[in-house]
A and B are shown apart, each in its own frame.
Chain A
Amino acid sequence: MELIRPDFGLLFWMLISFGIVLLILRALAWRPILNAIKEREKTIQDRLDVARKAKKELAEIEFGNERIIALAKTERANMLKEAQETRRQIIEEARQEAREEANKIMEDTNRKIEARKKEAEQQIRDQIAGLSVEVAEKVLKEKLSDDQKQKDYIKSLVDEITIN
């Protein structure tokens, strides 16, 4: 048989057998195989999508958590700051109040002292006045025991007044 001469019998068998094989393999092999592969690929793709979505959601949740934590932190800081402020204020107020109270007490006391002082001064003055009147009485009694002395004294008094 020749190398490059097609042979009818062989062509006949080849066309028939290969044609049948094409049909058989398509129905019994390639269709099931390709479908199975496709299905599996779809499943894998679906799973991957689900995983990606879950990851995204998780990331979102995590992000939310972080935000909440950050918020809580700032809130806490604010609260602390506020509390500190309040404390400071309270102390300040208390101090102020105390100062005021003290001042008031001081003033009161001062006033009382003043009043006492005046009273005492008055008493002293009265006493002194009394004493001086007594002393003057006594001195006068003594000085004006004679006329000369009376005259001298009145003269000195008059001098004083005129000088003034």
Chain B
Amino acid sequence: MPHLSINKSWSFILLFCCLFVLPAKANSSAKSGNFLSDKAERQKTEGHNTTPAESSNHNETDAASKTSGHNDAASESEAAVHGESSDEEGLQPGKVIMDHVVDHYSWHITTIGDTHVSIPLPVILYSKERGFFFFWSSKFHHGEHAYKRFKIAEEGTNKGNIVELDEEGDIKGRPLDLSITKTVAGVFVSIGLLLGIFIPVARIYKSRTKKPPKGLQSMMEPLILFVRDEIARPSIGEKHHERFTPFLLSVFFFILFNNLLGLIPIFPAGANTTGNITVTMALALFTFFMTQISGSKHYWKEIFNPPSVPWWLKLPLPLVPLIEFMGMFIRPFTLMIRLFANISAGHIVVLGFFMLIFIFGDMSPIAGYGVSVFSILFTVFLTLLEILVAFIQAYVFTILSALYFGMAVGEVE
């Protein structure tokens, strides 16, 4: 299989990248950890029984004090996303990077001075006592305000999530949260793109039957044929592949579009969708359920009573069946982790190189400008690499799904 060898060589490069990422990531998480504890201490000293109104007031004064000083590039950086910022502790690269990678309730675009430019997104909540709530995320004023006794938690296990407050303003717990977050919106954008590209392409196909492809059609056809002839057909087998090809095509293009959109930094692209574990989890769940539903008799026999395995591995203690049964869940689990880890790691590395500019800029502006040249060069290189990774990961997810389907229908061993 020639594809595998290509894949292998690139996985070495990825591994190489990971060697860079891991220390950086550990470093940053350590820093953000420090920051968290620092902040907690600070809040303790300031008194922990402040009402929400007071706390937001404090935030405003905090923001006001920020305008006076600290007007270099670092303040413009999105370190200021969550109002409470790096005034005392300085720049927190780890926090900034994580802020970019995780989900948010509003789609932040930029911060100019102290004005946050962001697109509000709908918040949909269900509280057990109070019922449904629909409002725009702008009501939270970038997490600075509570609204209708809901608030974006600033710390703890629910940090970044909406929590419900009781009458005294203490955190009561999480409501059922069906908000259209940035990631959901990003998924909608890519879905819109998917539908907006492939339905017209299908129409071209219908109108130009038995003619050579043209325009957008000829751009997409190689990829469609690639999925059908190089992924579905060899992995699932001649007999059953047609049943799964539509799913594989959808998954391939969904992941590919999301990966590529994630590399574009400006709205409406730029949401970290395939680098979000929930998104990859949903995709893996689809693969998992499709595998189990289409599992043949042979497939289930392979799991619970595999032939060609000696009986003592099955009878008193069903060791092999147990392993096979676990494998059923581990396979989609690895799909989920692989895609998530590859894409988010890519984003973290790119952001890490960008943060170098601000880290050095914090020391002296000249150093910042000097480093920016190398940072941008590296970021360009990494972005090119990420484009490749976008294709590879879409391919890997699709071919592994196809292999699992192939195992389930039991034509290819």
Give the residue of A5, A8, A15 whose beta carbon is less than 8 angstroms from that of B285: A15
Q: Which of B8-16, B62-70, B272-280, B395-403 contacts A (4 or more CB under 8 A)?
A: B272-280
Known A30-B245, A33-B205, A39-B210; contact A13-B184, beta-carbon cutoff 8 A: yes
B199 at the interface (CB under 8 A from A): yes
Check A25–B195 contact: CB distance below 8 A: yes
Check B254–A18 contact: CB distance below 8 A: yes
Contacts of B366 in A (CB 8 A): none
Which residues of A, 1-28, contact B by the 8 Å Cβ criterion?
A: 1-15, 17-19, 21-22, 24-26, 28
> How far does the Cβ of B207 sit from chain A's closest Cβ, in whole Å?
10
Interface residue count on the A side (C-beta < 8 Å) = 35
B198 at the interface (CB under 8 A from A): yes
Known A18-B283, A33-B201, A34-B245; contact A1-B195, beta-carbon cutoff 8 A: no
Q: Do most interface residues of chain B lie in helix, strand or loop, or is the interface mixed?
A: helix
A31 at the interface (CB under 8 A from B): yes
Bound Cα distance from A93 to B224, whole angstroms: 88
B104 at the interface (CB under 8 A from A): yes
> How far does the Cβ of B371 sit from chain A's closest Cβ, in whole Å?
26
Bound Cα distance from A28 to B205, whole angstroms: 11
B161 at the interface (CB under 8 A from A): yes
State which size class the interface on B falls in. 35 or more
> How far does the Cβ of A117 sit from chain B's closest Cβ, in whole Å?
110
Check A25–B246 contact: CB distance below 8 A: yes
Bound Cα distance from A29 to B195, whole angstroms: 8
Give the residue of B160, B179, B211, B254 whose beta carbon is less than 8 angstroms from that of A2: B160
A36 at the interface (CB under 8 A from B): yes
> How far does the Cβ of A150 sit from chain B's closest Cβ, in whole Å?
149
> How far does the Cβ of A7 sit from chain B's closest Cβ, in whole Å?
5
Bound Cα distance from A17 to B194, whole angstroms: 12
Check B198–A11 contact: CB distance below 8 A: no
> How far does the Cβ of B347 sit from chain A's closest Cβ, in whole Å?
11
Contacts of A3 in B (CB 8 A): 98, 101-102, 277, 344
> How far does the Cβ of B31 sit from chain A's closest Cβ, in whole Å?
15
Give the residue of A5, A15, A30, A40 whose beta carbon is less than 8 angstroms from that of B282: A15
Q: Interface digits, B116-147 against A, CB 8 Å rule (1 contact, 0 not)?
A: 00000000100000000000000000000000
B202 at the interface (CB under 8 A from A): yes
Check A28–B199 contact: CB distance below 8 A: yes
Contacts of B224 in A (CB 8 A): 33-34, 37
Check B281–A22 contact: CB distance below 8 A: no
Known A13-B187, A32-B205; contact A21-B250, beta-carbon cutoff 8 A: yes
Known A1-B160, A24-B195, A26-B246; contact A6-B278, beta-carbon cutoff 8 A: yes
> How far does the Cβ of B95 sit from chain A's closest Cβ, in whole Å?
12
Bound Cα distance from A5 to B153, whole angstroms: 15
Known A10-B276, A17-B191; contact A1-B161, beta-carbon cutoff 8 A: yes
- 21 examples of A-B residue contacts, CB within 8 angstroms: A1-B103, A1-B160, A2-B102, A2-B159, A3-B98, A6-B281, A8-B176, A9-B179, A10-B278, A13-B178, A13-B184, A13-B187, A14-B184, A15-B285, A17-B187, A18-B254, A25-B199, A28-B199, A29-B202, A36-B205, A40-B209
Check A29–B201 contact: CB distance below 8 A: yes
For residue B273, which residue of chain A has the nearest CB?
Answer: A14
Contacts of A25 in B (CB 8 A): 194-195, 198-199, 246, 249-250
Check B198–A6 contact: CB distance below 8 A: no
B87 at the interface (CB under 8 A from A): no
Contacts of B161 in A (CB 8 A): 1, 7
Contacts of A12 in B (CB 8 A): 178
Check B279–A10 contact: CB distance below 8 A: yes
Give the residue of B124, B202, B278 whose beta carbon is less than 8 angstroms from that of A14: B278
Contacts of A2 in B (CB 8 A): 102, 159-160
Bound Cα distance from A33 to B286, whole angstroms: 23
Q: Interface digits, B179-191 against A, CB 8 Å rule (1 contact, 0 not)?
A: 1110110011001
A43 at the interface (CB under 8 A from B): yes
Contacts of A6 in B (CB 8 A): 277-278, 281
Give the residue of B184, B205, B245, B283 whose beta carbon is less than 8 angstroms from that of A10: B184
Contacts of B206 in A (CB 8 A): 32, 36
B411 at the interface (CB under 8 A from A): no
Q: Interface digits, A34-58 against B, CB 8 Å rule (1 contact, 0 not)?
A: 1011011001000000000000000
B177 at the interface (CB under 8 A from A): yes
Contacts of B160 in A (CB 8 A): 1-2
Check A10–B103 contact: CB distance below 8 A: yes
Bound Cα distance from A32 to B217, whole angstroms: 12
B221 at the interface (CB under 8 A from A): yes
List 18 other contacts, CB 8 Å, given A3-B277, A30-B198.
A4-B277, A7-B181, A9-B177, A9-B181, A11-B278, A11-B281, A13-B178, A15-B285, A15-B286, A18-B254, A25-B199, A25-B250, A30-B245, A30-B246, A34-B246, A37-B205, A40-B210, A43-B210
Contacts of A26 in B (CB 8 A): 246-247, 250
